Structure formats: structure tokens, C-alpha cells
Amino acid sequence: MEPRKRRTFSLKAIEAAIGLPIDKWYQQCHATSLAIVKSGLVGESRVARGCCKGVPGQHSWVVLGRDCYDRHATILDPTLWSYDTTVEGIWKGKNLRRHFPFGHGCIFDASRPCSAGGEVIELTPKAPLSAFARGFLSMTFPGGLDFEAWRLLAKCPVIGWPAGEIIAAMHNTPKLAALVPIDILGMTTDLNPGGLYF
């Protein structure tokens, strides 16, 4: 078996692919990252949004592949240079070292969502939930979840449970849709809200 070739993306190739020179990317992290993903130049990829060391406020970058929480994924940050003067051109590195997408972490390290005693709300997914998702909900929340418990679950870290599947089902449940953080929806599902993630 031949070793996998490392993909390299020159600054000039990316500038040409998105039709903008690097000086126009200044602190336009989400727009620039999305343009790179949509260009198709870097292959299967997705925009991640979260925190980055050295960047004030929220930040966006490109994850190569579809899993924004894969610590082995390569990421491209086209605008880090505009926040950190020690960076030149497009920053390339591994995920979850300097860049941390919203929702990173394991659900079992977080506080367990608890019901506030309200009405139990059943999910109304577009397609039946998988056995994994049904099992997770029934074992973790045997009495069901009320509005408050669903609200807390939507804010939990996404590793360790079928977050994408359950978040998508919440999005499709009228009583719960407003609880779903757009970034978690965009990074864990194939719904791509507003076309902002891939």
C-alpha cells in the first residue's frame, strides 16, 4: 500500500480559488473559511467555529474532513495572521491544540442535565432515531426530558453521545428548535444552517 500523500495548499492557489487576495481576508475569519470550503480546493471540509488561543472573541477556521471535533484532523486557519503578528500566511496544524470548536469535550465530564419537573417533551425527528440514540436517551434520562433538561443537554459537550443525531432531532421538534445552538447544529449535523458551514 502506498503511503497517503500529504495535501498541500499554496497561498496563491487558495487566493485564486476564492477570488480574493490575502489582504482582503483581514479578520474575516468565517467568510474566508467558508469561501475556502465552498471552493472545493481543499476537498471534503467544514468550517468550525469556536475559540483560538491568541484571538479575542469567537473565531472560525477550516477543518479538513467532516468532523470538527477530531483531534487528529488537520486544520487551516486563513486569518490567524490578522490577529497574531507572529503568524504568516495560512496557519496549518492539528485540531484541538490551539483551536477549540464550541462544544468540544466529553459529555461525561459535564454536569448531567436534570429535569425541572416540567412537561416531558418527546422528540419529533424527521427519521426514526438510531438504536444508539434511543438507548442513550432511555438509559441516561429514563423519565424523559422537560424543556429545561433539553436546554441543558443542547449545551453539553458533544463527545460521548450521538450529539449530531439528537441535536438534529431537537431542531426538528417545534418546542425545542429554539434551544439548538446554530454552531453545534452546523458542526455536528448535515443540516448546514444558512449554508454557513460547508
**Per-residue confidence of the chain (198 residues) as pLDDT tens digits?**
444 455 668 999 999 999 999 999 999 999 999 999 999 999 999 999 999 999 999 999 999 999 999 999 999 999 999 999 999 999 999 999 999 999 999 999 999 899 999 999 999 999 999 999 999 999 999 999 999 999 999 999 999 999 999 999 999 999 999 999 999 999 999 999 999 999
**CA atoms of 67 and 187, how far apart (whole Å):** 8
User: Torsions phi, psi of 101, nearest 5?
Assistant: -65, 150
Element (H, E) at 82: none
**CA atoms of 154 and 170, how far apart (whole Å):** 9
**CA atoms of 57 and 23, how far apart (whole Å):** 21
Q: At 93, list the grid cell.
A: 496544524
**CA atoms of 68 and 102, how far apart (whole Å):** 9
